[in-house]
Amino acid sequence: MIGLLKKLFHRDGDDCEEVRKLSSDYLDEDLAPPKQSAIRAHLINCGPCRAFVDTLATTIGILSRFPKVSTPPTFHDSVMERINQEKK
């Protein structure tokens, strides 16, 4: 999903790449205050990054409304087995 959003809201620049990389942490407010402020300032001036972060926030909000689902205990092992079979 993040890859699709990157393509839709792509803008050149190291700042934009960093904002996209840190967007989840930014939304969760898990960044140091100076970094949080720097991203906020970047979003004010960068429409593509603002659209990216807004779309991510909306997507997270929608997904959070779904009920939590637990995977069966054997899920991890069966996925890893399937991956190993595909490599052969």
| 38-71 tens-digit pLDDT | 999 999 999 999 999 999 999 999 999 999 888 8
pLDDT reading at 4 higher than 70? no
Angle at CA of residue 18, ends 13 and 20, nearest 5°: 100
Residue 28: what are its φ and ψ, rounded to 5°? -85, -5
Measured CA to CA in angstroms, residue 38 lies from 10, 19, 22, 43, 48 at distances of: 19, 9, 11, 9, 16
Count structural domains, the chain: 1
Residue span of the structural domain in which 20 resides: 2-87
Nearest to 74 by CA among 84, 66, 85, 82: 82
Indicate yes or no: pTM above 0.85. no
pLDDT reading at 5 higher than 70? no
What is the structure's pLDDT at 86?
A: 85
In the chain, what is the greatest distance between 2 CA atoms, to the nearest angstrom?
49
